[in-house]
Amino acid sequence: MDDDSRQVYFLSNGTAITAETLGHSLLAQFPGLSFRTKTIPFIDTVEKANKVIDEIDRSVDESNGLPIIISTMADLDLKNIIDSSKALVLDPLADFLPRLEKILDEESSHAHLSHRFDNPSLYESRIDAIDFSLIHDDGGKTRSYDETDIILIGVSRTGKTPSCLYLALQFGLKAANYPITEEDMDSDRLPEPIRPYMDRLYGLTTEANRLCKIRQERRPNSRYSSLEQCRYELKAAEDMYIHHKIHYLNTTTMSVEEIAARIVEDTGLHRMEQSS
């Protein structure tokens, strides 16, 4: 815990995911500073809001700088309580809803809405996609590739599994993944199970030093985790992508979110509609 770090709160009457996501985007614009963040979701009564703001305001005098609150309060009474804080309060709902109301010629509901309740079929399509991606993880099942939206390929530990799960969770895509193993590298042909699905293949690769480090944590001092082996496998996989004209992505510096978003953008796969 850094004494110089600025305290930042993410507050919401809902999950606070919007406040957190926006907040992290904002804070990332100040890479030279350090922040302590605290998320307080489900502030859905006047009592809770008053308690939270009392606590935040009590801490103001002790802190080195004014705390920052990123808040998404749909409810106006609660919003006004948050606004009364001594901290700097940034609320994109408060700022943007009046402008949207004007252009849409409609009042906003000021209610916390559950997306699932609004749209149960969306919930189910995501669950289906997650189920599919789990069953089709790591080449586990290859017979229903006909149904898949995409098949990620790559050598061990290039991020296939988290990318598939994120594609399923965030975008509702049925994402399978198939590992490229040493046996596959000796052949000019693609592995049998993925061969009929050329148009759905997408390759992942990374830098050898990075892969080596990740593999060392799993199996230290093994052939599997040696830099030489990592170099060999990555080169062979990249040659395979190029030879078969498979789109691929170097994920070395990317978050799971960015890998998934790049794949969706690159392939033109349809993003799930999250509200309507």
DSSP annotation of 5: P
Please report how close the Cβ of residue 243 comes to its own copies at its closest, in angstroms: 27
Sign, CA torsion 168/171/177/180: negative
Please report how close the Cβ of residue 145 comes to its own copies at its closest, in angstroms: 20
Phi, psi of 234 (to 5 degrees): -65, -40
Please report how close the Cβ of residue 189 comes to its own copies at its closest, in angstroms: 30
Please report how close the Cβ of residue 190 comes to its own copies at its closest, in angstroms: 26
Please report how close the Cβ of residue 99 comes to its own copies at its closest, in angstroms: 7
**Nearest to its own copies of 63, 244 (CB atom):** 63
Please report how close the Cβ of residue 73 comes to its own copies at its closest, in angstroms: 11
Task: Confirm if 166 and 215 have CB atoms less than 8 A apart.
Answer: no
Task: Confirm if 177 and 139 have CB atoms less than 8 A apart.
Answer: yes
**Nearest to its own copies of 33, 46 (CB atom):** 33
**Nearest to its own copies of 34, 80 (CB atom):** 34
Please enumerate in sequence order all residues whose Cβ is within 8 A of that of 110, keeping only pairs 6 or more positions apart, or say none: 74, 75, 76
CA distances from 93 to 36, 57, 139 (A): 23, 22, 44
Tokens found for residue 238: 């990249």
Calpha distance 276→274 (Å, rounded): 7
Please report the DSSP string for 73-101 in residue order: --SHHHHHHHHTSSSEEE-HHHHHHHHHH
Task: Confirm if 145 and 151 have CB atoms less than 8 A apart.
Answer: yes
H or E element at residue 152: strand 150-154
**Nearest to its own copies of 65, 196 (CB atom):** 65
Please report how close the Cβ of residue 61 comes to its own copies at its closest, in angstroms: 16
**Nearest to its own copies of 240, 260 (CB atom):** 260
**Nearest to its own copies of 141, 262 (CB atom):** 262
**Nearest to its own copies of 162, 191 (CB atom):** 162
